[in-house]
């Protein structure tokens, strides 16, 4: 695909599906590590709004989450002058390539995709006779659209969570299938997944100790107003160990979340205080609230500014779309030529 000059840095591409308001787990597990990658790679990040359509039916929700995710990434420090930041739907070349790729993708490969198989299994568990019941073609074709997102940008690395690794492998498989047929004319680079690590190398726990995830309902929202943040933290369930008794910091999600955001000396002091006894859960929660609130306040302010209807978000996304299309167009042009179209 577009020829590379020796001075170019490797390219990373990743998509963010706008299906919910961002929470602390997204920040620690995805946003911050991805922003760090921008030091090493020429990075491209996009809002996968058409992917969201496989599950979202409310136009207001699609529009809101698309803006909210975009605003969150910029509020968290994404620099649109350094990173190409765009909406998937603003790059029509992606969808044209999706069709070409789907003509080279084995249907059997899609039958084995995790998300599709999970949906089939749910139907089987419920004893539904038609195992494809309720499954739309968007969900089924999801990996092909994702392969197109990746391959059209001629990238090297795709930073994703573990749950998306199979999709990146599929993108490489699909690229291979294309190359096998048309490789004499054009070849896609084979992308690799890269799993970003958060600061502690572990997954941020949610309020119940399991991985923080929207599907578990255990999240702490990123941009809740101060009072709501305080309430969310106060409501974190704890056991009834009396204040004076020693507590195990490592089995407390409150402590673990704190450790992700506090200065190391605060973390160390808190650990010692908990283990010595005399620190109650209420006190620990108040410390977590203070730490998070201090950290999040400037992000929150930028976020709400960007969420204003005529904020600079619109210009940022328009400029990003422009750059993304300039990168996608030569790829698509070569593909069209290779397959004999146009």
Burial of 96 (0-12, 13-18, 19+ CB in 10 A): middle
Instruction: Output the DSSP codes for 148-188.
Output: HHHHTTT-SEEE--GGGHHHHHHHHHHHHHHHHHHTTT--P
Instruction: Report yes or no: 10 and 41 within 8 Å, Cβ to Cβ.
Output: yes
- Minimum distance from CB of 175 to ligand TRP (Å)? 13
98 binds ligand TRP (CB under 6 A): no
Residue 80 or 196 having the CB closest to ligand TRP? 196
Binding mask 24-53 for ligand TRP (x = CB under 6 A): ------------------------x--x--
Question: Which has the closest alpha carbon to 17: 164, 141, 191?
Answer: 164
> From the list 93, 149, 154, 156, which residue makes contact with ligand TRP (rule: CB under 6 A)?
149
Q: Which of 185, 184, 158, 178 is nearest to 169 (CA)?
A: 158
User: What's the closest the beta carbon of residue 249 comes to ligand TRP, in angstroms?
Assistant: 31
Among 11, 17, 262, 321, binds ligand TRP (CB under 6 A): 17
Is residue 119 within the footprint of ligand TRP (CB under 6 A)? no
In DSSP notation, 270-315 reads HHHHHHHS---HHHHHHHHHHHHHHHHHHHHHHHHHHTSTTSTHHH
Rule CB under 6 A: say whether 146 interacts with ligand TRP.
yes
Half-sphere exposure of 155 (CA within 13 A, CB side): 31
Stretch of residues binding ligand TRP (CB under 6 A), selected from 143-151, 210-218, 255-263, 325-333: 143-151
How many residues sit close enough to ligand TRP to count as binding (CB under 6 A)?
A: 13
User: Could you give the string, one character per residue 156-185, with x where binding to ligand TRP holds by CB under 6 A and - elsewhere?
Assistant: --x-x---x--x------------------
| Residue nearest to ligand TRP as judged by C-beta position | 15
Q: Considering beta carbons, is residue 168 or 335 the nearer one to ligand TRP?
A: 168
Candidate ranges 133-141, 144-152, 214-222, 284-292; the one touching ligand TRP (CB under 6 A): 144-152
CA distance 299 to 204: 19
> 3-class DSSP state for residue 226?
helix
Q: Is 7 exposed, middle or buried (0-12, 13-18, 19+ CB in 10 A)?
A: exposed
Which phi and psi (to 5°) does residue 43 adopt?
-105, 145
Nearer to ligand TRP, 152 or 220 (CB): 152
Binding status of residue 150 toward ligand TRP by CB under 6 A: yes
Q: Which residues bind ligand TRP (CB under 6 A)?
A: 13-15, 17, 48, 51, 146, 149-150, 158, 160, 164, 167
């Amino acid at each position: 695909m577009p020829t590379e000059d020796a001075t170019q840095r490797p390219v990373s591409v990743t998509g963010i599906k706008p299906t919910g308001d961002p929470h602390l787990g997204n920040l620690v597990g995805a946003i911050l590590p991805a922003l760090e990658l921008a030091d090493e790679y020429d990075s491209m990040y996009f809002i996968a709004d058409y992917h969201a359509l496989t599950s979202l039916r409310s136009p207001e929700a699609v529009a809101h989450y698309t803006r909210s995710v975009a605003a969150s990434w910029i509020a968290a420090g994404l620099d649109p002058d350094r990173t190409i930041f765009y909406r998937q739907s603003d790059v029509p070349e992606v969808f044209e390539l999706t069709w070409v790729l789907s003509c080279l993708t084995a249907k059997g490969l899609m039958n084995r995709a995790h998300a599709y198989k999970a949906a089939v299994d749910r139907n089987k568990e419920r004893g539904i006779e038609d195992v494809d019941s309720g499954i739309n073609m968007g969900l089924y074709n999801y990996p092909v659209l994702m392969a197109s997102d990746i391959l059209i940008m001629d990238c090297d690395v795709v930073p994703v969570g573990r749950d998306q690794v199979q999709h990146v492998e599929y993108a490489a498989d699909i690229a291979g299938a294309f190359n096998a047929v048309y490789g004499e004319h054009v070849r896609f680079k084979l992308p690799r997944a890269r799993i970003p690590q958060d600061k502690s190398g572990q997954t941020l726990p949610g309020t119940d100790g399991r991985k923080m995830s929207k599907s578990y309902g255990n999240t702490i929202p990123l941009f809740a107003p101060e009072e709501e943040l305080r309430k969310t933290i106060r409501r974190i369930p704890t056991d009834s160990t009396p204040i004076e008794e020693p507590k195990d910091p490592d089995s407390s999600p409150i402590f673990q979340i704190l450790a992700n955001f506090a200065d190391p000396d605060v973390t160390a002091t808190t650990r010692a205080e908990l283990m010595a006894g005399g620190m109650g859960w209420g006190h620990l929660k108040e410390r977590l609230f203070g730490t998070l609130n201090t950290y999040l306040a400037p992000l929150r302010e930028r976020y709400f500014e960007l969420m204003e209807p005529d904020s600079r978000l619109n210009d940022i996304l328009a400029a990003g779309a422009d750059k993304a299309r300039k990168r996608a167009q030569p790829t698509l042009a070569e593909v069209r030529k290779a397959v004999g179209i146009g």
